[in-house]
Structure 1
Amino acid sequence: MSLMNPDPAARAAVGTIGRGAGGTSPSSGALPHLTTTVPCEFVRRSSMAEVFLTSCRRASETRFTLTGQWPRAHAFFNGPGGQHDPLQAAETIKQVALYLAHAELGVSLGHHFVPCDLSFTSDPDELAIGAVPSDLSIEADCVDLVRKGSRLVEFGLSITIRRNDRALATGTVRFVCVSPGAYHRLRGPAPESSPTQPAHQPSEVAPSAFGRGLRRDVVLASSDHPGRWRLNPDPDHPVLFDIGDDHIPPMVLMEAARQATYGLLVSDRSLTLTAMSTEFHSYAEFGRPCWIEAAPVLVQHSDTMSVLVTGRQDGRRVFGSHVSGTVTRC
């Protein structure tokens, strides 16, 4: 299948990135190992600090090799015990998909991406933070591209993230591409807020109960039922709400799934996330209660944990996530 060329603006931006990342400049001579990020707009981030991709090269008609970098410290993605946060792999997988859609698969800027599913598995033994930022090599294979005429309407990716030729994480993702006009018709007028949804207040529960160190990073509030919480992210959070979405972003829902899994633990236990498989069914709207429920799944070993997390709003299922991790004593 012949892939559509990127629009002129995307092509110009990608060309500039390739020359900079290549390390040479006609006017200044050799400048080895220059590094820059891909355009923020291509990965739907407003802050350059939140862009984890640095370059891309087409290996075949449907296969791409990208590079990226994870910082040694991050304002939100901060894993336990001097390790990178496993959920940072999910954010990187999402960024790869959005970047390739714009830069290589012909989806114009301004289009919207409706997530279908995102899954990843990470290796905790490979996530140690070193003395320098982690330079990544990323392989992405396009699968099941669906087109209407020349327009891409749905696509999936299979992705492997490596550091020093060792796999840190693997994953898959699928998006539906929606034009601005179709998105406006899909979303309609902004929904009215429900008077039963209180304004955001920091969680009254200690952040450590959800595996977080800062109260502003907690996205759940307690309820009257064990294993059930109200989705309660801070809409002014500089990372979780980096751009102006008209709904709660998928990464917030995935963080809610992780925190709900952590919330099932007894106080002297800690969770290291190793895998998450999430299906998205509908938008999570602002202004109306969204309830997060977590139920353990039968596992074979006492040091592992497998949990099914479900989000519901207005009686409909918003997402379902199967979360797995290892449990250790604090």
Structure 2
Amino acid sequence: RRNLEKSTRAAALYLKHLHSLFNDWLLACAGYNAGEGRIQRLIRRYPYIRTFWDISDDMPIRQETLAYVPRFVAALTISENRSKYGFMQPAGNQHRQYELVKVRGFVYLDRLARSIGTSPRLLSRMNPEFIRGCTPPGNGTYTIKVPKGKRDLAIAYLGRIHNKNKGIRFIVYMTRKGDTLYDISRRYNSTISHIALVNRMNPSDLLPVGKELVVPVNSAKGIKNNRASYMVREGDTIESISQMFGVSVVDILRANSINRPYFIIPGSSIRIPNVIALFRQRPRSITYRVKKGDTIWAISRHFSVPPSNIMRWNRLTSTATIYPGDKITIYVEQS
């Protein structure tokens, strides 16, 4: 929502989807405000509804929606003839005062700003969608706005960062009880200094439980024969360790000749085979609890997956209705 262009495109796509459901643009607008499920239930209850104007005050629909659509029509009418209604026409074609740069991977905006000789505050205002002041960890590609005339400097800086981070992938790790930077660095073939630098912390800082750390995972070194070792901690299970490293339970059991998978001792060392899988993008399962106003379309946009996939994963039909409290399974790429 913080990116005006992206949110406008998303809204247009959603309105197009709503029009395909209701075959009426004003009903689509009502669905945009009230939620498509509410309008679908209203139409099922009153089958004679064909357009928005067939909806009356005594029907179970909020007054907000009944007022929203006429206001939208009024705003559209005024925008098409501003001078007639006493509004000034916008001045000519406004040349945009920024250029676009493609960024792959994890980058702090303030460091980029200083490298191109501009204010970190200005760059942050130009890119409000990056609420944490950086691009998300992972291998995704993002578009960043930079002041006009700064594009070449930005590309040069990003090129240096890319070369410096060659063979490194950034992941997000949630700290647990007893974690130290040393343990985490060993587990992910990283270094204490690199983790501290990326997270802007002191290498000697204590780690509170539940803190999100960006961990630079070095896939270019530290792995011998695609194997690594892990020191078992209290509360660990073979299943939790397999999920941590993206390796199957069966492979871990075979590599360690474990016959009793439910009995592992804290402090013992476990070999992790095929650890190179850690550096691939692997889908993970999320159980999402439906909230009031949610739709399949809205959930799909939130998790960046096609609506058809959500319906397939949960065996839903195109006419299915979801309700608050329902649980939906979603598969997303690990970050």
TM-score (norm 1): 0.22
Bigger CA radius of gyration: 2
Q: If each structure's helix is expressed as a fraction of its own residues, which one has the higher value?
A: 2
Q: If each structure's strand is expressed as a fraction of its own residues, which one has the higher value?
A: 1
Q: Return the structure number with greater relative CO, CA threshold 8 A, min gap 6.
A: 1
TM-score (norm 2): 0.22
